[in-house]
Amino acid sequence: DIQMTQSPSSLSASVGDRVTITCRASQSISTYLNWYQQKPGKAPKLLIYAVSSLQNGVPPRFTGSGSGTDFTLTISSLQPEDFATYYCQQSYSTPLTFGGGTKVEIK
């Protein structure tokens, strides 16, 4: 099975900050990397698929990059509604594993 490791597991940031979350796969997954956002008590929401493609309706301050085993999610200017937990997921091969999550909190 492919293991997905996210870092950091949590971070504190202020509105307007640039935030970067990393995700590392235990083997190459090409560009089969997706990012989700989850707010407390809510279902996850797809933000980015195939490394860098923005899901419909997601603001352009969210960007994804990387290939192979190392990937990043960047929020260019953190907004109040962005405080949430973010998960990466590989869809290269089953089981389609998730990273452990990164909780973005208000500083």
Partner 1 sequence: EVQVLESGGGLVQPGGSLRLSCAASGFTFSNFAMSWVRQAPGKGLEWVSVISVSGDITYYADSVKGRFTISRDNSKNTLYLQMNSLRAEDTAIYYCGKDRCSSSNCPIDYWGQGTLVTVSS
CA angle, residues 33, 39, 42, in degrees to nearest 5: 100
Backbone angles phi, psi at 58, to 5 degrees: -85, 130
The verdict on 38 binding partner 1 (CB under 8 A) reads yes
Q: Of residues 69-88, which lie at the interface with partner 1 (CB under 8 A)?
A: 87
Identify how many contiguous H helices and E strands the chain contains and give both numbers. 0, 10
Q: At 104, which amino acid appears?
A: V
93 binds partner 1 (CB under 8 A): yes
Tell me which stretch binds partner 1 (CB under 8 A): 18-26, 41-49, 63-71, 72-80.
41-49
Tokens of 59: 């603001």
Residue 98 touching partner 1 (CB under 8 A): yes
For partner 1, the binding residue among 5, 22, 52, 55 (CB under 8 A) is 55
Q: At its nearest, how many Å lie between partner 1 and the CB of residue 16?
A: 28
Nearest approach in angstroms of CB 41 to partner 1 is 9
Both tokens of 43, joined, read 């279902």
Q: Please tell me the distance from the alpha carbon of residue 99 to that of residue 3, in angstroms, as a whole number.
A: 8
Contacting residues toward partner 1, per CB under 8 A: 1, 32, 34, 36, 38, 42-46, 49, 55, 87, 89, 91-101
